Amino acid sequence: MSTTGNGGSIRRLAREPLVHFVVVGVLGFAIVSLVAREPSPRDPGASDPSRARGVEDGVRDDVPIRVSRADLLAFVQSRTGQPDAARTEHDFDALSGAARRDWIDRFVREEALVREARALGLDRDDELIRRHLVRKMEFLTVAALEDALEPDRDALATYHRQHAESWRVPATLTFTHVFARERTRAEALLERLRKDAVAPADALALGDRFLYDRHYVDRTFDEVRSHFGEPFAEALSQASPAPGVDWLGPLRSQHGWHLVALERREAGRLPELDEVEGRVREDLLRMRREAAIDAALAEIVDRYRVELEPGVDPAASLPDSPGSAGGPSSETPDQVPDPDLRSGSDESHGGARDDARG
C-alpha cells in the first residue's frame, strides 16, 4: 500500500514468520479451491487470465483503490447507521485527523478484501454484500492457523501473570439490615435488637419495607454502593465482623436509616491460574486472532496502490460542508465513532466480573 498510516505495530507483525504462515495458508487454500473446481457459466472469470492482469511484484496496479470523499462519506454513513447524510458529513469533518485516517484505512481494507475475495472466487455462488466477503477472508485467515494460535500452559501462565489485575476477585460483604425511614424509629429498633440479641435471620421481618434486599450475600462494594450510596458503603468498609451478633447503626443511606449486622467480609484477591484458566485462554486467543488478522490483512492491503482524491486526505484542510451550516452542533463528534478496524470485532477484553450474587 503506497499511502502512509499503517501502524508500526502492524508492520512489525507483518514481518513475523507466523504471519507469513497465515498468508501462505490462506493463499494455498484458495489455490486448491480454484484448481479443484470447474468453471461455471456463472463464473466466467474463473478461467479468465485477465484476473491476474496488473499483478507485478505482488502489487495489483491494474485498478487502484481510489478513495473519493463521496464514497468515503457513504461508507461512514452505512457503517454508523446515520440516516442523515449531512449530519454524517458534519460529524466526520469534526473528527481528528487520526480518526479520519482510521476510517480511510477501514474503507481501503474492506475494498482490498472484497477484490481479493472475488479474485479467489469466494463470491462465485452467492450475492453476498461486501461485509460478508470481508468476513469470509477473515475467517479463512484465522482458520488457516487456528492450531498455531492455541496457547500452551506456559503462554497462559505468562499472560496471566502480565495481566493479573484483569481477573482480580473483588472484595465482598455479607450482611443483613433492618430499614427505618425515620431516625427515631431506627434508634428504637437498634435498642431492641441489641437488648434481645436478635439474630439476623429473625430480624428480616422488622422495620419498614425496603426497595431492595434485606439480606446481602457476597456482594461487591460497587453493588452495595449502587443500592445504598457512598456514605453507607464507606461506613461498612471501615467495619469488621464481630463474634456473635453485633448490630451497627443507625447508618444513613439515600433511602433512610439502617441497622446492620455485618456477618462476613472477604478481601479482594488475585486468583490462581487454575481458577480462571478458561477466561485467560479466551482472552489470549482473542488477542492472538486479532493480531493475526491485522497482520495478514495489512499484507493484503499492501498489494494495492491507493489514491486519495481531494477532500479525503486527513492532513489536508477540510472544506466547509453543508452539514456545518447553522453553527457547531451540540452533539459530540463521537456520533461518527473511531472505527474498530476489525469488521467483526464486537468482543470486549476480559476482566474481573462482579458476578457473585446472594
Residue 60: its pLDDT value, please?
A: 63
Residues in the chain: 358
DSSP for 284-348, please give it.
Answer: HHHHHHHHHHHHHHHHHHTTEEEEEPTTT-TTSPPPP-GGGTTS--SS-GGGSPPPPSSTT----
Residue 51: its pLDDT value, please?
A: 43
At 240, the amino acid letter reads S
DSSP 209: -
- Do 258 and 250 meet the contact criterion of CB atoms below 8 Å apart? yes
For residue 174, the cross-strand partners are: 264
**What is the rounded radius of gyration, in angstroms, for the C-alpha atoms of the chain?**
30
Residue 293 grid coordinates: 488478522
> CA–CA separation, 220 vs 200, rounded Å?
20
> CA–CA separation, 272 vs 213, rounded Å?
32
> CA–CA separation, 123 vs 126, rounded Å?
6
180-219 in b/e burial notation, b at 16+ Cβ within 10 A? Answer: beeeebbeebbeebeeeebebeebeeebeebeeebebeeb
Residue 292: its pLDDT value, please?
A: 84
Strands (E), the chain: 55-56, 59-67, 172-180, 215-220, 247-252, 257-266, 304-308
* Residue pointed to by grid coordinates 504462515: 21
> CA–CA separation, 321 vs 148, rounded Å?
49
Domain boundary assignment for the chain: 8-161+277-335, 172-266
pLDDT along the chain (358 residues), means of 10: 44 50 50 41 39 50 84 91 86 92 94 85 64 76 76 92 91 95 95 92 92 93 94 90 86 95 92 92 90 85 88 67 45 50 42 38
Residue 88 grid coordinates: 454524517
pTM over 0.85: no
Residue 342: its pLDDT value, please?
A: 44
Q: What is the CATH T-level fold of the domain 172-266, as seen in this structure? A: Chitinase A; domain 3 (3.10.50)
144-155 in b/e burial notation, b at 16+ Cβ within 10 A? Answer: bbeeebebeeee
